[in-house]
Amino acid sequence: MTPPDDRNRRLRPLHLASGLAIALFVIAHIGNHLAMFAGQAAHIAAMEALRPFYRHPLAETLLMLALAFQLGTGLSMIWRTRRQQRQGLARWQAISGVILALFILNHVGAVWAGRLLQGLDTNYHFAAAGFHAGYAGFFVPYYFLGVTAAFVHLACALGWRAKNRAIPLAISAAGMALAAGFVGVMASDPAIPPRYLESFP
């Protein structure tokens, strides 16, 4: 039987490659979310400008496949080394990877359910509705941890290669600040159309 470390060594380059492909979408997605600091209309306008690119059937299919591969390889590597003692970057990479995987599974599933089952435009209103439909206790940590985990996971990946540990720390801190900002904006903006609020039980 191939040792877990050897199998993980084979998967890491493929995991990194799919991660780089996903990063192109994430950069655009985070950029879109930055527009929410200018208000709902700015966020929706930026989203509508980007959608022709990432909602193209080919692009969307490739993104879903890349996400599935990323989750599968990442969780597989964590599971195979679950009995090993992790320290430093390895520990935070595993923790952020699990949080990010759970966030992506829930987030992508919710978006597809909103689009296909509820007929909703999954825009700013869709993302912020939960804060004002009585579920802030879930959505505050959900978005904060999900966004923070994405930045921490990236920081850990860079940390293995960067000699200066200040770079990963700065990326992690920036992620936490952005996550807090996104949550603060969505939680403090109650102007959500009723049909989005009514989608919650």
pLDDT in tens, 150-165: 999 888 888 777 766 7
pLDDT tens across 15-63, in order? 777 777 788 888 899 999 999 999 999 999 999 999 998 899 999 999 9
Number of structural domains the chain divides into: 1
pTM of the predicted structure, to 2 decimals: 0.86
Q: Cβ(42)–Cβ(35) under 8 Å? A: yes
**C-alpha torsion 149→147→56→23, nearest 10:** -50
User: Who's near 142: CB < 8 A, 6+ residues apart?
Assistant: 103, 106
Confidence of residue 1 (pLDDT cuts 50, 70, 90): very low
Report the alpha-carbon angle 18-74-3, nearest 5. 115
How much is the pLDDT for 169?
A: 87
pLDDT tens across 82-130, in order? 777 777 777 888 899 999 999 999 999 999 999 999 999 999 999 999 9
How much is the pLDDT for 167?
A: 81
Q: 177 is written with which tokens?
A: 């600040």
Distance, CA of 127 to CA of 183 (rounded, Å)? 10
Neighbours of 6 (CB within 10 A): 10
* Single-letter amino acid, residue 155: A
How much is the pLDDT for 11?
A: 67
Domain enclosing residue 179, as ranges: 4-197
